[in-house]
Amino acid sequence: MRMNRTVSSADTHVNDNVDFETLDDVKLGDLVVIPKGSTAMATVTEAVPKRRMARGGKLNMNIDYVRLPGGDKLPLRGVQDAKGGGHTGAMTGAIVATSIVFFPAAPFFLFMHGKDITIPKGHEITVYTNSDYDPAMGKTPAAPAAPAAEAPKTLSGTPLANADVLKLKAAGLTEQLIIDKIKASPAKFNLDTNDIVELKQAGLSDAIIGAMIQASQR
């Protein structure tokens, strides 16, 4: 691949896109799968400009995909990783030396800068395909489809009302049995604030009232 523009750590940001073009036809037998001049895209994953204390810049990018003639995107694998030249070793020695002589000399070294990374237009990089491609189908294999969500079950029977739940409570049924009954039955509860207060005062637990609220939202 060859870069189509110059990229520098001085003004590039993380998540910026960088476009490339292929330099050769990629063939499978006599079939041209990726024609010369196809567009590929990369994403900047790290961009740090040069800093004080002679620390150089950083510029990392990841090659994402190449666009195929049919419009599909074929994932690629390739990383461009570069680090700016610095003067850290020389700077450290210089600071030690100046601290022995006199302090005012130190700021000169503290404000030394490393170098920004610049990857010029036309820079070439080798990349590799990162997934299978089926020329006969003209596309990359599709990911397995997620299982379809089951349709909600339609509950039958007479809808439960507030009074029905209170009768179940008065009959001595356990909390879990009452909740199971609520979940298995259609519902037509009155659950305004005053209704909920009355249900609570009548001895219904928070779990039962919660099940009633959920049933009303079905």
Contact 81, 58 (CB under 8 A): no
Query: Is there a contact between 190 and 212 (Cβ–Cβ < 8 Å)?
Result: no
Residue type, 207: A
Q: What is the pLDDT of residues 135-179, one digit of tens each?
A: 666 555 555 565 655 555 566 678 889 999 999 888 888 999 999
Determine contact, residues 75/66, Cβ cutoff 8 Å.
no
Same domain? 83 vs 174? no
Instruction: Indicate whether 125 pLDDT > 70.
Output: yes
In a domain, 146, yes or no: no
* CATH number of the CATH domain containing 66: 2.40.128
Any domain includes 42: yes
**25 plus 118 within the same structural domain:** yes
Q: Identify which of 210, 24, 27 has the alpha carbon closest to the alpha carbon of residue 133.
A: 27
Amino acid at 154: T
Q: At 124, give phi and psi (nearest 5°).
A: -105, 145
| pLDDT tens by residue, 57-82 | 888 888 888 888 888 888 887 654 44
Whether residue 99 sits in one domain with residue 187: no
Q: Could you tell me if 53 and 91 are in contact, meaning their C-beta atoms sit under 8 angstroms apart?
A: yes
**Are 120 and 168 members of one domain?**
no
Q: Are residues 77 and 169 in the same domain?
A: no
Number of domains into which the chain is organized: 2
The whole-angstrom separation of Cα 90 and Cα 101 is 17
Whether the model pTM is above 0.85: no
Sign of the dihedral defined by the CA atoms of residues 17, 21, 26, 31, in that order = positive
pLDDT digits (tens, 9 = 90+) for 12-43: 888 898 898 999 998 878 888 889 999 988 88
Q: 169 lies in which domain range?
A: 162-216
